[in-house]
Amino acid sequence: MLLLPIKIVGTAGLIAGATLAVRRWGQMVGGWLVGLPLTSGPVAFFLALQHGTAFAATAATGMLAGTASQVVFALCYAWAGGFSWPIAFLGGTVGFAAFTPLLLWLPFSAPVAFVFVICVLLLGLKLLPAPSGIAIARTHTPWWDLAGRITSATLAVTALTTIAPHIGAHLSGLLSPFPLFGAIMTIAAHHLHGNGAVTSVLRGLLWGLFAPASFFLTLAATLPIIGLAAGFAAAATAAILTQLLTLVIFRHRTQPEVLVDR
């Protein structure tokens, strides 16, 4: 019973921090930030607590492979971004759902999955459409915005950790990388700022996904050997170093956001 409040408080804190970062530094940095394993990382941690490090290590390999499905989500949402956000979100979700079962048939080890994911990420950055318009800045966000994001994320983390024993470690791993935080940020940007902000969020998201790839590669390799605390510490260190590297790269390769007040 103690795990439930930990899930609620931890997940709420993560999504609140990411939302405030978007408001402070912009859509692309927000997308980059939520590329961190803010959903799947806690899921892996709770799986390790509840079902052991071997189960969590297997799930981590699935989470690593499932990062590729996030790229498909981002591409499908971006190319459907000219429509309303429900249609674009549906397109991204269908893309994620259609691609994920293909990963079940691939005999992935963690290193092979890592190479595969890096190739998919680089391809995704090439295929992401250019911004189709200027983002429109609105001075006020709905009163329910932050609460809605926190509630959605907390429910998803709780649901995934609840059903994991019933669907197995590998499938749990493949499903948990669904870009919940990224989807919430993208939908909010789409609704509040228009299609011009969508590509900024999703480009930042793709740059941010190199960090969870490093995180889950390290976690899958170290968790059965050095245990829960040391394994997650090593994985977190790998993710942070990768995230800092990608921040330097994409800030030099992308243009600053242009916002027009309405």
Q: Is the pLDDT of residue 260 over 60?
A: no
pTM for this predicted structure:
0.76
| Structure confidence at residue 1 (pLDDT) | 45
- 243 has a pLDDT exceeding 80: yes
Query: Tell me: the pLDDT tens digits for 76-126?
Result: 999 987 788 889 999 999 999 899 888 877 777 889 999 999 999 999 999
**Amino acid 26: pLDDT:** 60
Q: At what angle do helices 198-208 and 27-34 cross, to 10 degrees?
A: 40
Whether 205 contacts 32, CB under 8 Å: yes
Beta strands in 68-198 (DSSP E): 135-137
> 58, 91, 69: which is closest to 220 by C-alpha?
58
What DSSP designation does 58 have? H
173-203 pLDDT, tens digit per residue, is: 677 777 777 777 788 778 777 777 788 888 8
- The pLDDT of 121-135, averaged and rounded, is 79
**Whole-number Å distance between alpha carbons of 51 and 148:** 30
Question: Cα angle at 253 between 249 and 259, to 5 degrees?
Answer: 115
**260 membership: H or E segment, kind and range:** strand 259-261
pLDDT value of residue 217: 95
pLDDT of residue 90: 92
* H or E segment to which residue 79 belongs: helix 53-79
> What is the structure's pLDDT at 114?
94
> What's the confidence (pLDDT) of residue 232?
92
Average pLDDT across the chain, whole number: 78
Q: Which residues of 245-260 are buried (b: 16+ CB within 10 A; e: fewer)?
A: ebbeebeeeeeebebe
Return the higher-pLDDT residue of 259 and 196. Answer: 196
Is the pLDDT at 211 greater than 70? The verdict is: yes
Give pLDDT, residue 259.
Answer: 41
- pLDDT tens for residues 54-75? 888 888 988 898 899 999 999 9
Residue 71: predicted pLDDT: 94
